[in-house]
């Protein structure tokens, strides 16, 4: 498969998983955590699904389209392995959803980052919270959820915190 | 529409237009011109549709994935308004296809670039050549072609040189 086709499938899988998570979480309160601002496209999509005032974005730097940048309070700058463990006071409560688009192209280091993030992230999530991720997580108290139609197993992941 | 949805639609439209052009050109000989290497995803897709040895890529610089970089002969570096007018000897004959993914996000300057490119590009194309583009062209001897199913009018463009 060409890289263009593979990319379109990955972007579509991401969008479909975010939409599915938002439907499943309808009516629930709590912060939404976005790991990786990038160009801001996915943050913009999250704003179409959740209240912008609930969304906190973690990234090392801000390189997004000017229309897709959270305000200073909602943009948590730095290495996520350093900002995540101390983020609770900033986000103000346990989160209902986390989206982790943390792959770097280097599979081994991406999986290792997910492994390191897991415990910290778990501590920020409420019971019943959902996690959508481009990387697999291996957490005892997270259950893999069914993927939306058309999303192949392993292309994206949705978990529920028990 | 969120920027994520808009982006997926644009990428899908691009892929579908390239596939359609390749089908229409089946059996024809001649170089294929790609304007904008970017990360190399679209070049990789073109390689799945045409012979890599026929594809010439124009860009200011090479910032693509290492697996998606043409060899030096097929990579034409520089400002396309300078490299295009003198490219015929390099590409070795009139091209059967040109793909122009030249939008910069600034609509006015992207349309202006297409206008400036048009005459030079026209001189490099054989009769019956196809052009797929993210920007509209306004050339007297180019006819707009029907778009693939699902591609909205104006999202992408296919022209045939008469």
Structure tokens at B60: 């200011």
CATH of the domain at B24: 3.40.50.150
Q: Which residue of B has its CA nearest to A66?
A: B105
Q: How far is B91 from chain A (nearest CA, A)?
A: 24
Q: How far apart are CA A33 and CA A57, in angstroms?
A: 6
Full DSSP string of B88-120: HHHH-S-EEEEEE----S-HHHHHHHHHHHHHH
Q: How many domains does chain A have?
A: 1
Residue that has been written with the tokens 């899988």 in this structure: A13
CB contact under 8 A, B14 and A2: no
- A79 pLDDT band (50/70/90 cuts)? very high
pLDDT per residue over A37-46, tens digit each? Answer: 999 999 999 9
Q: Which residue ranges in chain B fall short of pLDDT 70? A: none
Q: How far apart are CA B119 and CA B81, in angstroms?
A: 10
Segments forming the whole domain that contains residue B26 = 3-161
The mean per-residue pLDDT over the stretch A48-72 comes to 96
pLDDT per residue over A126-139, tens digit each? Answer: 999 999 999 999 99
Please tell me the pTM assigned to this model.
0.91
pLDDT per residue over A9-39, tens digit each? Answer: 999 999 999 999 999 999 999 999 999 999 9
Instruction: Write the CA distances from A117 to A55, A82, A100, A139, integer angstroms.
Output: 18, 10, 10, 11
pLDDT per residue over A94-117, tens digit each? Answer: 999 999 998 887 888 888 889 999
CB contact under 8 A, B8 and A15: yes
pLDDT above 90 as % of chain A: 91
- A47 pLDDT band (50/70/90 cuts)? very high
Mean model confidence pLDDT for chain A: 95
Give pLDDT, residue A4: 97
- Residues of A whose CB is below 8 A from B40: 3
ipTM above 0.90, yes or no: yes
């Amino acid at each position: 498969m060409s890289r263009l086709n593979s990319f379109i499938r990955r972007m579509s899988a991401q969008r479909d998983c975010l939409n599915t998570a938002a439907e499943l979480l309808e009516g629930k309160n709590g912060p939404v955590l976005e790991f990786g601002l990038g160009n801001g496209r996915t943050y913009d999509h999250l704003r179409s699904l959740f209240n912008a005032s609930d969304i906190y974005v973690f990234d090392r730097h801000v390189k997004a389209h000017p229309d897709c940048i959270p305000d200073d309070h909602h943009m948590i700058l730095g290495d996520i392995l350093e900002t995540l463990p101390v983020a609770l006071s900033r986000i103000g409560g346990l989160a209902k959803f986390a989206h982790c688009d943390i792959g770097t192209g280097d599979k081994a280091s991406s999986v290792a980052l997910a492994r390191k993030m897991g415990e910290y992230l778990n501590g920020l999530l409420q019971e019943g919270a959902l996690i959508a991720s481009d990387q697999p997580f291996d957490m005892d108290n997270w259950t893999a959820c069914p993927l939306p139609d058309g999303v192949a197993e392993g292309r994206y992941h949705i978990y529920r915190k028990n």
